Amino acid sequence: MTKAEVMSSLEEGWSRFLAIAKGVPEGKYHEYGSIGWWTVSQSLVHIASWDEELIEIMRTYMNTGEKHDFDLDHDINDRHIREKENMDLPMIWRHLDEAHMSLISYLNTLQEKDFQEDSYTGDLIETMIRQHYWEHEKDIEDFRNTL
């Protein structure tokens, strides 16, 4: 896919994710066990935190050629949740939006070659952004269907 196609696909996926997430009834965002052992609000924090992480991972790779060792991230999700546990829902939505806009802004600075599926960055964009949004969209939708 071209850069334009990937960016369009990301925005479509993001819009779907937001529509599903915003469809959760107000009192259900903090219900434990709704998304595995997480709440929906924790899932939103997780998405935002990984959008931020990916900027740094890609920036490091672009500047140094060093690939990120994801095996070292065994507790990163729990750390992200702990760091933001005091956020209320409006703050979470704001954080989610700001993190996504930062990611999109960063991706817009990349070259066409960085979006090729067989490149390190192209693989990150596919697996850690597009598929990540889709996986959590599905989790939240499955939870909504149980209500």
pLDDT digits (tens, 9 = 90+) for 5-26: 999 999 999 999 999 999 999 8
Q: How far is Cα 12 from Cα 27, in angstroms, rounded to an integer?
A: 27
pTM over cut 0.85: yes
Q: In 3D, which of 145, 130, 146, 147 has the Cα closest to residue 47?
A: 130
Q: What is the pLDDT of residues 61-114, one digit of tens each?
A: 999 999 998 877 778 888 899 999 999 999 999 999 999 999 999 999 999 999
Beta-bridge mates of residue 35: 38
Q: Decide: 9 and 130 in contact? Cβ < 8 Å.
A: yes
